[in-house]
């Protein structure tokens, strides 16, 4: 029983919370690799073709849904959901699967960035950009990054 509780304490949250300008699933930009492992555990895959260390935490091995984290100089530079994992939402009530117009209703007018096959609305806050990814006019995912990184992934 104690082992199960310990494993649950270090796991990717299902239906994680995005706090614009602050965190994604409880992890903030600037966190160390050790802090990410402490929050989400050590069960992740590493991107082989990425120019910077990138880890993928998925709900099932080799399945696409979950979150990704990119590191620069050993610290989190970007966090992003993968393949529209259900249940993820902002504290303001925006959920994956909502219609894209809800983003403006909750956060006001935002800059739009065109990406290949999707677009993103970008909310700058403090030293972090929050991206709301849209596919087919539905909220597809969330991202958080330092401002120097591209929003389109």
Q: Is this prediction's pTM over 0.75?
A: yes
Q: Residue ranges of the domains in the chain?
A: 2-145
Which of 32, 38, 45 has the alpha carbon at shortest distance from 10?
A: 38
- Residue 126: pLDDT above 90? no
List pLDDT tens digits, range 55-79: 999 998 878 899 999 999 999 999 9
- State yes or no: pLDDT of 6 exceeds 60: no
pLDDT tier, 10 (very low <50, low <70, confident <90, very high otherwise): low
Q: Report whether CATH 2.60.460 matches the domain 2-145.
A: yes
CA proximity to 145, closest of 131, 103, 117, 133: 131
Confidence band of 153 (pLDDT split at 50, 70, 90) = confident
How far, in Å, CA of 114 to CA of 128, rounded? 19
Alpha-carbon distance of 46 to 71, in angstroms, equals: 11
Give me 118's structure tokens: 């999707």
Query: For residues 53 and 55, what is the distance between their CA atoms, to the nearest angstrom?
Result: 7
137: closest CA among 99, 90, 94, 106? 99
Q: Does the pLDDT at position 3 exceed 80? A: no
User: Closest by alpha carbon to 129, among 78, 73, 83?
Assistant: 78
Q: Per-residue pLDDT for 50 more than 70?
A: yes
pLDDT digits (tens, 9 = 90+) for 103-121: 999 999 999 999 999 999 9
């Amino acid at each position: 029983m104690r082992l199960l509780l310990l494993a649950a304490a270090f796991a990717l949250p299902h239906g994680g919370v995005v706090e614009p300008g602050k965190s994604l699933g409880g992890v903030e930009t600037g966190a160390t690799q050790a802090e990410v492992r402490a929050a989400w555990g050590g069960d992740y895959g590493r991107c082989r073709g990425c120019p910077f260390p990138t880890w993928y935490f998925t709900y099932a091995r080799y399945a696409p849904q979950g979150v990704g984290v990119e590191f620069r100089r050993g610290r989190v530079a970007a966090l992003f959901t993968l393949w529209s994992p259900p249940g993820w939402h902002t504290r303001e009530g925006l959920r994956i699967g909502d219609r894209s117009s809800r983003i403006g209703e909750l956060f006001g007018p935002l800059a739009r960035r065109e990406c290949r096959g999707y677009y993103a609305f970008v909310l700058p806050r403090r030293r972090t950009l929050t991206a709301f990814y849209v596919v087919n006019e539905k909220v597809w995912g969330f991202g958080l990054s330092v401002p120097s990184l591209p929003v389109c992934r």
